[in-house]
Structure 1
Amino acid sequence: MQFDSAQPNVVIKWIEQETDLIYGEHFHLQKEEKGELTFEEKIAGVPVTPSGMIEVKWDEHGQLIYFVHHGPFVAKKKHRAEKYTLLIEMIESLAQQQVQRIEWPSFDQNKIRPIYALEEVYVKNDGTGILSFEGTIQEHQCFNINQIIKWDESITEPFVRKGLNIQEGISTDQAFSLEPSPDTMPISEEEKDKCLKAVQNLLRKEYPNDTGKWVCISLHRDHGYIHATVKANRQDRSMFTGKIMIFIDAYTFEAVNYINRQEIFKMCGMLDELQSPGKITISKQEAFEKLKDRLELIPIYVYDFTEKQYVLCGKLDCHDGVDAASGEVIPLQDI
Structure 2
Amino acid sequence: MHALTKQLTEHIQEKYQLTDSILHESSYVQDKMNDQTVYSFETFWIPYGTSIIEEDDGTMLPEGTVQIAINPVTKRTTTLSLHGSILVHSVPNDLRDISTRIAWLESETGMIHGTHFMLEEENETFFSYVSCYDGVQLSPGCFIHLTLTENGQLDELFIYGPHPLEHRVESKSFTLTLEEIKSLIQQQIKWFSYLKTGHQYAHTVAETFVTQEGTILVPSKLDFTTSIEVNDVLTWTGLSSKTHKRHPFQSGETVTANDVITQTQHPDFRPIPQETVSACRAVINGIIQSEYPADSGQWVLRHIYRQDPYLAVTLSHAHPTSYADQYRRVPILLDAKTLQWIDLVDYQEYHAAFASVTAPELEDHQQDIIFNALRPYLSLTPRYVFDASKGQYVLCGLLDSNHAYLPATNEVVLLRDL
Q: TM-score if structure 1 supplies the norm length?
A: 0.69
Aligned pair 1:25/2:115, yes or no? yes
Q: Which of the residues 307, 316, 319 maps onto 2:399?
A: 316
Give the counterpart letter for 2:370 in structure 1: L
- Which residue number in structure 2 is paired with residue 256 of structure 1? 342
Contact 2:324 2:351 in 1 (8 A): no
Give the direction of change, closer, same or farther, for the CA distance of 1:78–1:193 in structure 2 (3 Å limit): farther
Q: Quick check: 1:142–1:219 contact (8 Å CA) kept in 2? A: no
User: What CA distance in whole angstroms lies between the structure 2 residues aligned with 1:262 and 1:183?
Assistant: 37
Correspondence 1:333 to 2:416: yes
Partner residue of 1:126 out of 188, 207, 213? 213
Correspondence for 1:304: 387
Identity %: 20
Say yes or no: does 1:34 pair with 2:124.
yes
After TM superposition, the score normalised by the length of structure 2 is 0.57
User: Which amino acid in the other structure matches residue 369 of structure 2?
Assistant: K
Cα deviation digits, residues 96-132 of structure 1 (max 9, x gap): 3333444x241x31x23344443332111134x3223
1:271-294 per-residue CA deviation (whole Å, 9 max, x = no partner) reads: 2xx8944895x6242442122132
Q: Secondary structure at the match of 2:345?
A: strand
| 1:259, distance to aligned residue in structure 2 (A) | 3.4
Q: Secondary structure at the match of 1:15?
A: helix
Alignment length, in residue pairs?
307
1:189 aligns with 271
Which residue among 284, 289, 292 is the counterpart of 2:371?
A: 292
Q: Return 311-320 or 60-69, whichever deviates more.
A: 60-69
- For residue 172 of structure 2, what is the aligned residue in structure 1? 82
1:59 equivalent to 2:59? Answer no
Residue 200 of structure 1 deviates from its aligned partner by 8.3
SS in 1 for 2:217: strand
**Are the aligned partners of 2:141 and 2:164 in contact in 1 as well (CA < 8 Å)?**
no
Residue number in structure 2 paired with 1:143 = 225
Q: CA RMSD in A?
A: 4.5
Alpha-carbon offset, residue 198 of structure 1 = 4.7
Could you tell me how far apart the structure 2 residues matched to 1:279 and 1:13 are? Answer: 53
Q: 1:166 to 1:304 in 2, by over 3 A?
A: same
- Match of 2:272, SS state, is helix
CA contact (8 A) 2:129 2:144 kept: yes
Secondary structure of residue in 2 paired with 1:93: helix
Output the amino acid matched with 1:24: G
**Structure 1 residues 251-260 or 45-54, which shifts more?**
251-260
Secondary structure of 2:184's counterpart equals helix
| CA displacement at 1:5 relative to structure 2 | 3.1
Letter in 2 for 1:259: V
Deviation by residue 1:146-170 (Cα, 9 ceiling, x = unmatched): 8352146349467655565789xxx
Give how far 1:221 is off. Answer: 4.9
Query: Following the alignment from structure 1 to structure 2, what is the Cα–Cα distance between the partners of residues 101 and 26?
Result: 37
Mapped contact 1:75–1:310 kept (Cα < 8 A): no
Decide whether aligned partners of structure 1 residues 312 and 246 sit closer, same or farther in structure 2, where only a CA change above 3 A counts.
farther
Higher relative contact order (CA 8 A, sep 6+): 1
| Match runs of 1:217-228 below 5 Å | 221=307
Structure 1: unaligned runs, 5 residues or longer: 168-173
CA contact (8 A) 1:290 1:329 kept: no
Q: CA deviation at 1:27?
A: 2.0
Q: Distance in 2 between matches of 1:146 and 1:288?
A: 36
Note the residue ranges of structure 2 that are not aligned, 5 or more in a row: 1-86
Partner in structure 2 of residue 171 of structure 1 = none
1:61-91 Cα shifts (integer Å, max 9, x gaps): 6554322110122377411111212222222
Cα offsets for 1:164-206 (capped at 9, x unmatched)? 5789xxxxxx9xxx99xx9976522238995897588547715
Q: Is the 8 A contact 1:47 1:301 kept in 2?
A: yes
